[in-house]
Structure 1
Amino acid sequence: MSEVTIWHNPRCSKSRATLSLLESHGLDPKIVEYLKTPPSASELTSVLKKLHMKPRELMRKGEAVYKELGLDDEALSDAKLTEAMAENPVLIERPIVLYAARAALGRPPENVLDLFTGL
């Protein structure tokens, strides 16, 4: 079985609920506190592909740094947005669960269970 990884923020209730849900299903995910160990831009690009999302869809637009950096500018490229998230991980929506070649955003937490259907 492939390793399950969660990009986790222990201060976030959705992230805690998602971790608890995984554990209640007998999974022991590798926990990556992405605010302490941020993903690189290339890791983010890979995860975005797995999520079938564009960078802007994964951004926390309510964060002060989003406004400070002018990330609402529609002219910004996906690469620039991904770079901004790698440099400012607080911008990354959470939690993200990775399993095999797939990923899911835990909003709501039950979304991540789709990764394990048919196991």
Structure 2
Amino acid sequence: MIKIYHNPRCRKSREGLQILEESGQSFEIIKYLENVPREEELKQVLQYLNMAPIDLVRKSESVWKENYKGKTMTDEEIIKAMTTHPKLIERPIVVKNSKAVLGRPPENIKSLL
């Protein structure tokens, strides 16, 4: 099953969703701002992405700049920050089986299909 961690207000996320819709494959939409991933789920997604937690953070968000920028943080603390403030999670993320891609640019999603 394919999953997309989606923010409907984000243009890149909407473009990623459109790619999935056009693929004809079935998928699940996870609106991660409403349905915040648990820390364990986010760790699993990071493993599938083969990314460090800091690389999945939207560093331009004001909540990052005001609360975390310039601080030395462990991976665990960064993951906790993302689950506490899901706006910090870069989007969209598409997961298929044990692989995942960050849909920036949205065309990255095609590599999973």
Q: Same-fold call, TM > 0.5?
A: yes
Gaps of 5+ in 2: none
1:14 aligns with 12
Displacement after TM superposition at 1:76 (Å): 0.7
Counterpart of 2:32, as a letter, is Y
In the TM superposition, residue 72 of structure 1 has moved relative to its aligned partner by 3.3
Per the normalisation by structure 2, the TM-score is: 0.95
RMSD: 1.0
Report the alpha carbon displacement of residue 15 of structure 1 after superposing the two structures with TM: 0.5
Between the aligned partners of 2:70 and 2:35, the Cα distance in structure 1 is: 25
Structure 2: how far apart are the matches of 1:72 and 1:5?
33
**Cα separation, 2, equivalents of 1:52 and 1:94:** 15
The 5 Å alignment of 1:1-119 reads 3-73=1-71, 75-116=72-113
- Structure 1: any 5+ residue segments left out of the alignment? none
SS in 2 for 1:93: coil
- What is the aligned-residue identity percentage? 45
Matched position secondary structure for 1:86: helix
Structure 1 runs, 4 residues or longer, greater than 3 Å off: none
With over 3 angstroms needed to count, the CA separation of the structure-2 counterparts of 1:82 and 1:71, relative to structure 1, is: farther
Q: d(CA) in 2 for partners of 1:109 and 1:72?
A: 29
Aligned length: 113
